[in-house]
Structure 1
Amino acid sequence: MRVIGLMSGTSYDAIDAAAADLRIEDDRIILTPLGMLSRPYSGQLRQDIANSLPPATTSMERVCRLDTGIGQEFAAVAGQAVEQLCGGHADLVVSHGQTVFHWVDGEEVRGTLQLGQPAWIAEATGTTVVSDLRSRDVAAGGQGAPLVSIVDALWLRDRPGTPVALNLGGIANITVITGEPIAFDTGPANALADAVVRELTGGRSTFDADGLMAWRGRIHPELFERLLAEPYYRRPAPKSTGKELFHLGYLAEAMAGLPEIAPDDLVATVTALTARTVADAVHAYGGTEVIAAGGGIRNPALMHRLAEELRGVPLLSTDELGLPSVAKEAYAFAVLGFLTVNGLGGTVPSCTGARHTSVLGSITPGVGALPIHQPPERMPTALRIDSADPGGV
């Protein structure tokens, strides 16, 4: 089955599309990457998203406009992926949509909202769409995150020791591969640094390109200690968070009463915060290697600081294991949608905290028959990444 996964993370900088050939052989899911592409959000839509996210207020009219606008841009990327990556035909599109709110009340997640109306994707491509993948896990008592943990657990289960899968998006999350896997958001990855850069440049820059500001700056000791005192870090897993907590206002509150901090020092400090909180989580669970993906791995300053904080625990990228790091989450959501149409659960309860595993998402029909299969007799127990199909596009 040719499946396209669509993803836009908490940094909301671009929509990634990853195409894969997916099949089940015996007790394994076989994933053959067919390629990926990425398209930035249009400038106005990106600004509209930024203006609507917490702590900003919004209106139902704006939510409706965003749902349509995001859906249309996802549809355009899906159409491009069908043509360029799948030779004009895909069996399924799986859309994560754009997270705009993750409702956390104490230690409980009560709801989660991803916008991007899937009807636009189905209409543009004629392909069945699986979307809204987080809500079912929340309804089952889970955090709705990190959903990629099932892919990590299936893929890395045969590696020695205690491997840890790390995603560095706007928020950082890990999956610890043990007898019963554990997964949770460790805290901010790029969220605070991106917010600082965007504010300082008036929106002309949206991230610390090549980590230059973090390289130049020095960690501000008092601010660093204030940020590390955040109670979220001491909460037990499973847990999840988002920009509802880690935003520019949060950082401004932590800086209250401190002398003015140089811009480079501010970026260096929040970059160091990411490295420390990720490394603390890895050490707490006895991680023996870290396999990283996400936009943050393109920040040399962050990766250097993280390697130091890991104190000898090897730090790899998913590229070294055959899965393109820039599209890892898009590939993961392709797998989740593939599980859905095969009637298979897409969550690991020990990772999300749900009462049970659930078949995820809602299905929007395309043209023709739905690609729904008879469920296999048993859930696959492993995931294998094959080299690219020479016959693929």
Structure 2
Amino acid sequence: MRVLGMLSGTSHDGIDLAVVEFSVAGQVLQARLGEHRTVPYSDELRADLVAALPPGRIGMAEVCALDVRTGQEFAAAAASVTEEFDLVCSHGQTVFHWVQDGAVRGTLQIGQPAWIAEATGVPVVSDLRTADVAAGGQGAPLVPLLDRMLLAPFVADGRPAAALNLGGIANVTVCVPGRPVRAWDTGPANALLDAAAGGLDRDGELAAAGTVDRGLLAELLREPFYALDPPKSTGKELFTAGYVQQFLTRDVSRPDLLATLTALTARTVGDALRGVDVVVASGGGLHNPTLVRALAQELGETELLTSDALGCPGDVKEAVAFALLGFAHVAGLPGNVPGCTGARGERVLGRLAPGRRGVPTVPGLPSWPARLEFVSPAG
């Protein structure tokens, strides 16, 4: 089965897409990565999405329009793929993650899947998070389904291992031999850095020119979210652009603020990953060498790899993960990992928008294979 995975993350800058062909060989799920890239949002849509995020306030008419416009841009991105696929799994765009008293009450992803089905003729799985929330979970993170199979070889060798994604928000999946898989959001990765730099320091040059303000760092680390026990999740409803505005008015230069925010991300990620032997990292934050150096310093002797080393390009790893969730939906297999989200149990995730073509099937797969292995296009 060939599945097109699609999503836009908390950076709200474009649509990551990846076509993945899945096949089963014994206890190995083989994944053959096909066409993959990022399609930028139009400037107008991105500006309107960012303006709609908290603390922005918009009416239902604007919500409806954003839902349609996002769906149309997802549809255009899917239609631009030259490789054939049998199914689309679209995460859409998260615009709000409702957290109250430490519990997730709801989550909203926009980007109507009917536009994708109409443009491609292919059925579309969407709304991947709400079944987990309804079962008492956080609805996030969902990438551990992929992570636990990618990290299985390290765990089989007796090595505690973790996967790290550095998007707008940083999240980790930790696999320790003999223990349940755990995963959670650690806090901001690029979200506060982008807000402080106006999106102009993706390579970390300004941060590299600054000095960490230790007093400010200590103040930032008092954010209550960091003290919560996993499972936990967050987003730009907490780490808003306004979150850093209060610090821009202080006697701190922009380079020093960026250096301090970089240290904040490195510290909160490092604190989450104490005791693991190997970290497999992915996400846009890897393009910021200043952040990567700070993270490596926090991790010390821990081996730091990128997911590219395992055959999964870091920039589209989450798109690959959502392709896997689409495969899970039609196979009738659970897409959540309850120990990671806090749900009462495993759930098949998503709902299906039919296309003109029939829904593909996965016969005779009663449970998940033990590991996932990327294979070359030649097989």
Structure 2 length as normaliser, TM-score?
0.96
Identify if the C-alpha distance between structure 1 residues 307 and 120 changes in structure 2 by more than 3 Å, giving closer, same or farther: same
The reply on whether 1:208 has 2:201 as its aligned counterpart is yes
Q: Across the two proteins, how many residue pairs are aligned to each other?
A: 374
| Equivalent in 206, 212, 216 of residue 219 of structure 1 | 212
Structure 1 residue ranges, 4+ long, deviating more than 4 angstroms after superposition: none
Deviation of 1:260 after TM superposition, in Å, equals 2.1
Paired with 1:21 and 1:154, the residues of 2 have a C-alpha distance of 16
Identify if the C-alpha distance between structure 1 residues 185 and 37 changes in structure 2 by more than 3 Å, giving closer, same or farther: same
Paired with 2:360 and 2:219, the residues of 1 have a C-alpha distance of 52
- Per the alignment, residue 61 of structure 1 pairs with 61
The reply on whether 1:264 has 2:263 as its aligned counterpart is no
The reply on whether 1:17 has 2:8 as its aligned counterpart is no
Tell me the C-alpha RMSD between the 2 structures.
Answer: 1.4
Corresponding letter in the other structure for 1:48 = D
- Per the alignment, residue 356 of structure 2 pairs with 367
Question: What SS class does the counterpart of residue 111 from structure 1 fall into?
Answer: strand
Deviation of 1:28 after TM superposition, in Å, equals 2.4
Deviation of 1:311 after TM superposition, in Å, equals 1.4
- Per the alignment, residue 232 of structure 2 pairs with 239
Paired with 2:339 and 2:26, the residues of 1 have a C-alpha distance of 25
- Per the alignment, residue 156 of structure 1 pairs with 151
Aligned 8 A contact 2:122 2:358 in 1: no
Paired with 1:155 and 1:90, the residues of 2 have a C-alpha distance of 23
- Per the alignment, residue 29 of structure 1 pairs with 29
Superposition pairs for residues 68-217 of structure 1, below 5 Å?
A: 68-81=68-81, 83=82, 86=83, 89-159=84-154, 160=157, 161-178=159-176, 179-198=179-198, 206-217=199-210
Corresponding letter in the other structure for 1:218 = T
Structure 2: where are the runs of 5+ without partners?
Answer: none
Question: What SS class does the counterpart of residue 335 from structure 2 fall into?
Answer: coil
Q: Deviations over 1:4-49 (max 9, x none)?
A: 1011100011111111111222232211111312111000100000
Paired with 1:223 and 1:287, the residues of 2 have a C-alpha distance of 28
Paired with 1:53 and 1:317, the residues of 2 have a C-alpha distance of 31
Paired with 1:314 and 1:367, the residues of 2 have a C-alpha distance of 48
Q: Deviations over 1:105-152 (max 9, x none)?
A: 122101000000000000000011011101111111111111001110
Corresponding letter in the other structure for 1:153 = R
Paired with 1:382 and 1:28, the residues of 2 have a C-alpha distance of 5
Aligned 8 A contact 2:87 2:359 in 1: no
Aligned 8 A contact 2:266 2:295 in 1: yes
Aligned 8 A contact 1:343 1:375 in 2: no
Deviates more, 1:41-50 or 1:312-321: 312-321
Aligned 8 A contact 1:27 1:380 in 2: yes
Aligned 8 A contact 2:195 2:244 in 1: no
The reply on whether 1:389 has 2:375 as its aligned counterpart is no
Paired with 1:9 and 1:389, the residues of 2 have a C-alpha distance of 31
Over the matched positions of the two proteins, sequence identity in percent amounts to 51
Paired with 1:145 and 1:152, the residues of 2 have a C-alpha distance of 13
Aligned 8 A contact 1:137 1:143 in 2: yes
Question: What SS class does the counterpart of residue 158 from structure 1 fall into?
Answer: helix
Paired with 1:139 and 1:183, the residues of 2 have a C-alpha distance of 19
Paired with 1:215 and 1:388, the residues of 2 have a C-alpha distance of 39
Corresponding letter in the other structure for 1:37 = R
Paired with 1:252 and 1:47, the residues of 2 have a C-alpha distance of 19
Deviation of 1:374 after TM superposition, in Å, equals 4.0
Question: What SS class does the counterpart of residue 210 from structure 1 fall into?
Answer: coil
Corresponding letter in the other structure for 2:153 = D
- Per the alignment, residue 274 of structure 1 pairs with 265
Corresponding letter in the other structure for 1:163 = A
Deviates more, 1:107-116 or 1:217-226: 217-226
| Equivalent in 352, 370, 378 of residue 367 of structure 2 | 378
Q: Deviations over 1:42-81 (max 9, x none)?
A: 0010000010001111110111010011001101111112
Aligned 8 A contact 2:231 2:341 in 1: yes
Q: Deviations over 1:226-249 (max 9, x none)?
A: 101111111111100111111122
- Per the alignment, residue 202 of structure 1 pairs with none
Aligned 8 A contact 1:344 1:375 in 2: no
Paired with 2:354 and 2:162, the residues of 1 have a C-alpha distance of 37
Corresponding letter in the other structure for 1:278 = V
Corresponding letter in the other structure for 2:29 = I
Corresponding letter in the other structure for 1:108 = A
Paired with 1:53 and 1:259, the residues of 2 have a C-alpha distance of 25
- Per the alignment, residue 41 of structure 2 pairs with 41
Paired with 1:138 and 1:207, the residues of 2 have a C-alpha distance of 35
Paired with 2:276 and 2:121, the residues of 1 have a C-alpha distance of 44
Paired with 1:134 and 1:214, the residues of 2 have a C-alpha distance of 35
Paired with 2:21 and 2:373, the residues of 1 have a C-alpha distance of 12
Aligned 8 A contact 1:70 1:115 in 2: yes
Question: What SS class does the counterpart of residue 235 from structure 2 fall into?
Answer: coil
Corresponding letter in the other structure for 2:316 = A
Paired with 2:321 and 2:296, the residues of 1 have a C-alpha distance of 25
Corresponding letter in the other structure for 1:73 = E
Aligned 8 A contact 1:28 1:381 in 2: yes
- Per the alignment, residue 203 of structure 1 pairs with none
Corresponding letter in the other structure for 1:9 = G
Corresponding letter in the other structure for 2:214 = P
Paired with 1:313 and 1:62, the residues of 2 have a C-alpha distance of 47
Deviation of 1:261 after TM superposition, in Å, equals 1.3
